[in-house]
Structure 1
Amino acid sequence: MRKKRTWIVIGVILALGLAGFWLVRNGLPQAQAQAARTGEVVTAFVGDLAAGTTATGQVSAGQSARLTLPASGTVAEVRVQAGDAVQAGDILLRLETAELERAVANAAQALIIQEANLAALQTPPAAAQLMAAAAAVANAQAQLDSLLAGPTEAEIASAAASVAAAQADVTAASTRLNNTRNGAGAAEIQAAQIALNQAQVAATQATEQHTTILATIQDGNAPAGMLDDAELAARVNVLQANAQLAAAQETLNRLQTGNPNDVATAQATLATAVAQRNLAQAQYELLLAPASAAQIAAAEASLAQAQANLDKLQRGPTAAQLAAAEVQVENARISLERARLNLENGTVTAPFDGVVTAAHVQPGELASGILVEMIASDDLEVVLNVNEVDLSQITPGQETTVTLESWPDDPIPGRVRAIAPAAATSVGSSLVTFPVYVTLEASERPIRVGMTANAALELARREDVLLVPNGAIQVDRSNGTYSVILVQTNTQGQPVYETIPVTIGLRDGRYTEITSGIQAGDQLLIPDPTATNPFAPGGGNGSGGRPFGG
C-alpha cells in the first residue's frame, strides 16, 4: 500500500515538471512579444549603398599669378585695378621705356656695324685697293732708299740756290729799309735801273736755258736721269732769276714813285726775308747732313707697315680673324636681343584670361616686388583638408559633391583632381590631414576665392547588396561580433525573437551591408532604447551589446 502511494507522488511530480516545462517553452515568447511591441520591426532588403566621408576646405583658383618684372623701373601707367577682367596678353602695367628704346636703337646700330665689318672681311679686295697698297709700298721703299743714298747733286744745287735767293731777298729788303729811312737819290735810282736791267738779262737767259733743256728731253737725245737733274736746276734758276727781277722792279718803282716812309712795313718785310733765308739755310744744312738712325728706322717701319697692308689684302682674312668677326656679330646680336627683352619686360601682361585681384603700385612709383596679382576666374577649385584615415580610399577622378557656406542648399558637383604628396601643416593640432584638390563644375553662383566649402566624398559603393538599418545591428565589443534580432511568428501567431550572428560589410549613416546570417525579407527588431527588457539578447548578465548606430 505504501509502495503504491510512492509511485503516485512520483507521477504527480513528473506531471508538474512537464507542465512547468511547457509553460516555460510557450510563455517566454509571449513575454518577449509583449516587450517587443515597444520597438520597431524592419525588413532586410536588397539595394545600393555608398559610404563616404566629409571634409572642409576653401575655394581656391586653379590658376593664379603674382606678376613681377625682372628689373626695377619707374611705373608710367597702371591700366587695371582689383576686379577687372582681363584676357591673355592684355597690358596690365607699363614702365617708362624711353631709355630702354634708346638702348634698343644703339644695340641695333652696333649690330649693323659688326655685320658690315664681317662682310668687309669676307669680300675680296678690289683691284684699286691692291694698286693703292702696292703704290704705298713703292713710295715707302723710295723714301728709305733716298735716306740711305743721300741727296743728289741737283738737290744740293737747288737747296743752295734757294739759300742764295733767300739771301738776295734779305739784301733787297735791307736796302729798301735803308732807302725808306734815308730817301732815294739819283744815284740810287740809276743803280736800281742798272740792277733791273741785269735782272732782266739773267731772267731771260735762265728761261732760255730751261727751254733748251725741255726741248732736249722731248727729243730724247740724252739720258733721262741726267736731263732730269739739269731741268730741275734750270727751273730753280728761272724761279730765282724771276724773283730777283721782280725785286729789282719793285725797288726801282719804289724809288721812282716815292716812299711813304713806312719804316714799319720795310722792317716787317726784312724780318720775313731773314726768316725765309734762315729756313732755306736750315733745309740746306739738313739736306747735307747724313740720315740719322731714327730716320732710317722710321722709314723702315713705314715700309714694313705698307708691305704688311699689301700682304693682308693679297692673303685675305685668316680663319681666326673671321671667327673673331663672327663672334663680334653674335655678341652684338645678343646685346640687341637683350635690349629688346628689357624693353618687352618694361610691360606686365596677363598670362591667361582671368580677373585682377590686386594692383600694388601706382604711376610714378618704383616697380619692385609683386606688382599685380590675378586668378583664372573660370578655373575655380576647392582645396579640402582630408583626414589621413580616409586618404587611401580617395583617388583622382573620384566624384564628390560640394556645398558652400553661402549657399548650403545648392550642391555643386565636383571631381577630385589631385591629392597633395605631403600633409598640410597644422600648428597646435595632432590631426594629420592632406590637401585634396577638387575641380568644380560650372555654377551660376558668384563663387569667390576664399569661400568655405564642405564636400561629401564617396569612399566606396556597393550595388544589389543586402541592407538593414544601422539600428538593427547589435554589437558585442567584447569579442568584436555583430548580430540581429530576427522576428518570426510561432504556431499560435505570436512573435518569436532569435538572436542571429551576422557578418557586416559597408555602412553609411543609415544602412549596413549584411554579407551573411540573414536573407532579404527577414523581419528584424530595433529595440526601443528606453524600454527595459530582461529577455533581450544579452540582457540581464551584461554580456550583450548596444545597437550599431541609430
Structure 2
Amino acid sequence: MDITLPEQGRKTISSRPKLNRKKILPVLGLIFVAAVAWWQITLSSAGTPVKAVTVNRGDIEIYVSAPARVSLPSRADLSFKTAGRIAEIKVRKGDNVIAGQVLATLDMTSIYPQINQAEANLKIAQAGLRKLLSGRSQREIAVAEASVDQAETAVENARRNLKTVKKIIEQGKQKAALNVKNAEIGVNIASQQLNKLKSGARSQEITLADSQLAQASQALADAQANYDRVVALNNALLDEANQAVISAKAVMDKIAETDTSSVTYLNAKSAYDAAVAARNRVNASNNQSLEAAQAQLNSAKKAYDIALAQNNLTKASARSEDLAIAESQLKQAEITLELAKIGLDDASLDAQLDAAQAQLDTAVRSSQVAIAQLELQREGPRAADLQTAKAQIEQAQASLASAKSIADDAVLKAPFSGKVAAVNGRPGEIAGMSAAGGGGALITLINFDR
C-alpha cells in the first residue's frame, strides 16, 4: 500500500499494517453476533441439538490486506534565526500549542535601542528633505549676507595690517642700514683719530678732522630728520588704526541694536577685537620705531661729540691718556659696527611679513567661502542635494526595516498546532549553544494529526 510522508515528500512501499483496534473491534463484534445468530438458526431448523456455552470478552486479530494511505506525524525543529541570549521559554516538553503561539523570546535589550535609533535617523532624514524643499528663510539669507560683509571687513583689515607690517619692516631695514653706516663712520673716525694722536697733527689731518666733524654734523642732521619722519609716520599709522577700530565698533553697535546673541554679532565683535588688537600692535610698533629713531639720533649725537672731541684733540698736542681714550673709542666703534651688521640681517622682519601675508590669504579664502555659501542660500536646493536627501531617507527606512526584522526574529512562534516534543535550552543561555541542544534545535514540535 502507499504511505504518505508529509513535509518530506511521498514514498510508496509494500507493507502489512496493523489496523487500529479501537476502530475495528465494534465492527468485529457486530460480525460475531450476526454469525452466532445465523449458526443457531441453522441448527434449529435442522433439528440438531444445541449446546450452550459461556461467551468471554477478548481480542480477535483480523488481518486485512487492502490499499491504504498512511501519513506520518509532522515534525518541526525550531530555532531562532538570529543569535542572542534566551530571555524566556514559554513552553515545556509535552505542552500542546496552537499555530502562531509564542514559544520563546530572546533578550531585546540591545534590539530596542537599534529600532529607536533607526526611527530617529528616519525622522532626521525626512526633516532634512523637508528643509531642502521649503527653501532658505530670509533670516538665513540675511545671516549669510552678514557673514560676507564680515569676511570682506576681515580682508580689508588684513590688507591694512600687511601694509603696516611692510612699512615697519622697511623702516627697520633702513634703520639697520643707517646703523651700519654710522658704525662704519664711527670706526673710521676713531681709527683716524688714533692715528693722528700717534703721528701728530698735520695740516692735512686738521683738514680731515674738520671734514669728519662736518660729516658727523650732517649725520646728526640726518638722524634728526629721520626721527621727525618716524614721528609723522607713526601718527599716520595710529590714525588709520583708530579709524579701523571706530568702523568695526560702529558695525558691532548696529548689529547689537537687534540681537546680541547671533552669529553675526559675535563675528562683528571678533572683528572689533581684531581691530583693537591691530591698533595695539601699531602702538607697539610705533614705540619700537620711535625708540629706534631716538637711538639713531642719540648715536649720531654721540658720533658728533666724538668727532668734535677728535677735532679738538687733533688741533691740540697728544697725551698718553688721549691715546688710551682714542684706542678705547676705536674698540667701542668696532663693537658697535658688528652689532649693527647683526641687526641688518634680522630674520624676524621677514617672518613678520610672511605672517601678515598668510593672514591676508586666509581672510581672502574665508571671504570666497562666505560668498559661495551666500550664492547657495539664494539658489535653493540643487538636484544632487535632493537626491542625496532622498537616498538618506531610503537608507534610514532600510535600517529601520532591518532592525524590526531582527526584533521579529527574536520571537520564536509555533508554525502549526501540535505537541512540544523537546526543549533544548534555558533562559540566560545563548541561543543555539545550550548544553542540551548541542547547537541544534531549541524546540521540537510534532503534530500527529497531520
TM-score by length of 1: 0.34
Bigger fraction of residues in strand:
1
Bigger fraction of residues in helix:
2
